Structure 1
Amino acid sequence: MYIHWSHHYLPKVFGILSFFFNPPFMWLILSEKKASIGKYRYLLIGFAIFDMIYSAVELIIPISIHGTGAAFVVYLADGPFFGTGHLGQLGVSIRCGFISLSYGILVIHFLYRYFVLFNTRIIDRLLRPSGLAALFLFFISHGIAWSTVCEMFLYGDQEVFDYIYDAFKKDYNVDSHDLSMLMALFFDASPEIKRRSWIGILILTGISTYAVSLYVILGYKIMRKLADNPGISMTTQKLHRQLFKALAVQTFIPICISFSPCMIAWYGPVLGLDLGMWNNYLGVIALSAFPVLDPLAIIILLPNYRNRLLGVVKKPMKYWNSGTSIRPQVDSSQAITQIY
């Protein structure tokens, strides 16, 4: 389905850029001679790998969002699973689950920064094989829970397909019965449809709210600890503040481009907002930008990474400028000798 050039191309551009920015970010982490951030580097590498997997899933399972009447709809717009019925619907559920996975990995980052300041013994346990396995299960459970809720409560059926038929014919000239979708229909539906729609959206809202609340609570405690702990050296405090600023921006990004678009799409119909295909611009494009903005935020906010990357970029420019300034002072024979 072709909706608009921005919806068609921008998510693909962001997906490709994710594979362009995250590998240099991983190189900056792994090639750093002095491990100034300690074992936290492994979490940052894990974050970069997740960003690229997120982009790969997004490119394979491109989604669209539509709000009409009392309904919220997420449907498969293109890709190899388009037109595959329930298999495509499962793909949409998995794609949506990656939103929750981004919440989960951020929770782990906040917990790590919190325990570094408050209880380093827990950090030692978490970095053991059993601790890492527990962290992975904690992380993956977010995506499993989200996708399961989508499959159990937000699946499309004949009643919801019929409800959105006219809107999809008018806006996209497609038959809604041929699409793989997830949907919540809050009013003007059978009691069963309304019940499972409300249950599904409220559970997803609870997962999102728990994650964002945890960011705020742990972030506040971390800031208080840094401000009220004279036992920490100025150098260590400076490093912690730099890392916390980066993590704060990493948190601000998904709140703006994941949490907020989801809330608008979910509760717009409840409030009587007929957003139509505007959800694609407010939500789909914003969701696709997360894996690109994430590594850029850390590189820009951590001086070591920022300066090293700028140094790599400036080297060819310095070499070119120095060659340009020397060239007029030598004759052609000297120039040939220098080239070889």
Structure 2
Amino acid sequence: MGELGFFSNAFFGFILVYLTLFHIKRQFGSYKYLLVNFQLVGFCFASCEYLFHTFLHLYNASLIYFSLSHPLGFSNLTMEWMMAVYTGLYSSTICLLAIQSIYRYWALFDTPKLEYFNGIYYFIWVGYYTFFGILWSLTVGYFFAMDEFSMEYLSKEISLRYERNITDTPILDLIAYQGNDFRWKNLTGALMMTDISTFQYTIIIVCGYNMYHGMQTKLSLLSAQHRRLHRQFFRALTIQVVSPTIILFCPVFFMIYVPFADLEMSFPSCIIQSGFTVYPALDSVIMMCCVSEYFRIFKKLFVSMKQPKSSQDDSEKKRIQMVNPKI
């Protein structure tokens, strides 16, 4: 699944970025750079999974996040921080969806503010999703680092299920309880991740709600072409939010909070995790299917490939003659 996610994202992401940058010349404005940024972050997200082959495992009151490989000869500590960076990229994708929601809202209701997406101001948004990505990575790397209690609690399970010595395996873990009390360090990490995600989803929901209820009035003032494009972007953004909620957000937080139920179980969660890797490619497909401009470009490129060269030359001559009748 990691390989499927990596190669599918490379394929569909490249198509979307190529068409957005080199074939769409109008209407998108600075929104095209948000689309490109999202694909680049998504590609990094899929690449980390492809390189590090991470796994999730639920065991009683714990969630174990680990890797069975050491690419490039990385030590356990380096691998653990690389795994934390991988989770930070997940946070950055959610932040980028929130940023896209702000853009679409301003594009309809407060157009002058779109200047904050142009020129040097654009780096405000790069800093925004980078900040929360780093904060999430530091949260995971620090609050879920192994300690002596973790090693004692998990060593038999890792040895039994994966035939590995826990000291030779890069692991981050969330253990809900230590004795009769919470593991406050792990609980703090879980709450910080929840707060970051809740903040992004609040932005998405507020912008989406206001767009839904005020869109008809605003769109009535625009041309038919712009009305169609805004509706298509709104539809695409809605699906882009719903799909990661189902594929990423709900499974992640289900697994984070299941340990607090303190159930007696041992369950490899790789089946759930496998959905993470295909999401960036799915996002590319959603955008290309919802926005008709991409279909128009595909059709144009397909026709030009089928058209004989002589016909293309004749068409080009006619176009030049229309521009300059003296030729």
Give the TM-score, by structure 2 length: 0.86
- Paired with 1:245 and 1:275, the residues of 2 have a C-alpha distance of 41
Match of 1:3 in 2: none
Moved more, 11-20 or 274-283: 274-283
Partner residue in 1 for 2:287: 298
Map 1:94-173 → 2, pairs under 5 A = 94-129=85-120, 131-173=121-163
Distance 1:265 1:280 in 2: 11
SS of the equivalent of 2:66 reads strand
State yes or no: 1:11 paired with 2:5: no
Aligned to 1:333: none
What residue is the counterpart of 1:93 in the other structure?
A: 84
Distance 1:268 1:221, change over 3 A: same
Report the Cα offset of residue 274 of structure 1.
5.5
Cα distance in structure 1, aligned partners of 2:267 and 2:73:
19
Question: Compared with structure 1, are the counterparts of its residues 288 and 12 closer, same or farther at alpha carbon in structure 2 (3 Å cutoff)?
Answer: same
> Does residue 43 of structure 1 match 2:34?
yes
**CA drift at 1:67:** 0.7
Correspondence for 2:297: 308
SS in 2 for 1:298: helix
Equivalent residues of 1:81, 1:87 under 8 A apart: no
Partner of 2:318: none
Secondary structure at the counterpart of residue 269 of structure 1: helix
Deviations 1:77-118 (A, max 9, x none): 324167612111111111111110111111111111111112
Q: Which range is displaced more, 309-318 or 33-42?
A: 309-318
Question: Which of 197, 201, 208 is the equivalent residue of 2:190?
Answer: 201
What residue in structure 1 maps to residue 272 of structure 2? 282
* 2:159–2:165 CA contact under 8 A, matched in 1: yes
Partner of 2:315: none
Tell me how far apart the structure 2 counterparts of residues 56 and 26 of structure 1 sit (CA, whole Å): 17
Measure how far apart 1:271 and its partner are. Answer: 2.4
Question: Cα–Cα, structure 1 residues 289 and 79, in superposed 2: closer, same or farther, change >3 Å?
Answer: farther
Q: Percent identity?
A: 21
**Structure 2 CA distance for partners of 1:260 and 1:314, relative to 1, 3 Å:** farther
Give 1:189 deviation, angstroms. 4.3
Q: Give the 3-state SS of the residue equivalent to 1:248 in structure 2.
A: helix
1:154-303 maps to which residues of 2 (within 5 A)?
154-189=144-179, 194-229=183-218, 230-273=220-263, 276-283=266-273, 285-303=274-292
TM-score, normalised relative to structure 1? 0.83
- CA contact under 8 A between 2:176 and 2:183: conserved in structure 1? yes
Contact 1:83-1:180 at 8 Å conserved across structures: no
- Equivalent residues, number: 307
Higher relative contact order (CA closer than 8 Å, sequence separation 6+): 2
Give how far 1:190 is off.
8.1
State which of 25, 50, 55 in structure 2 corresponds to 1:64.
55
- Looking at structure 1, the residues matched to 252 and 264 of structure 2 have their Cα atoms a distance apart, in angstroms, of 15
CA deviation profile, 1:7-37 (whole Å, cap 9, x unmatched): xxx1112101211111111121123354122
Distance (whole Å) between structure 2 residues aligned to residue 49 and residue 280 of structure 1 = 24
Q: Distance in 2 between matches of 1:96 and 1:274?
A: 27
**Partner SS state of residue 65, structure 1:** strand
Q: 1:156 aligns to what SS in structure 2?
A: coil
* Structure 2 residue aligned with 1:74: 65
Residues in 1 aligned to 2:127 and 2:142: alpha-carbon distance in whole angstroms: 21
User: For residue 309 of structure 1, what is the amino acid of its counterpart?
Assistant: F
What is the DSSP-based 3-state SS (H/G/I as helix, E as strand, rest coil) of the residue aligned with 1:174? Answer: coil
2:323 corresponds to = none
Alpha-carbon distance between aligned partners in 2 of 1:244 and 1:236, rounded to the nearest angstrom: 12
Equivalent position SS for 2:269? helix
Paired with 1:146 and 1:203, the residues of 2 have a C-alpha distance of 8
- Which whole-Å CA distance do the structure 2 matches of 1:104 and 1:141 have between them? 10
SS in 1 for 2:177: coil
Residues 15, 59 of structure 1: 8 Å contact kept: yes
Work out whether residues 30 and 117 of structure 2, in 8 Å CA contact, stay in contact via their aligned partners in 1: no
The change in CA–CA distance for 1:203 and 1:228 in structure 2 (over 3 A counts) is same
- Give the whole-Å Cα distance in 1 for the aligned partners of 2:101 and 2:305: 38
Unaligned 5+ runs, structure 1: 1-9, 320-340
Paired residues of 2:4 and 2:278 also in contact (CA < 8 A): no
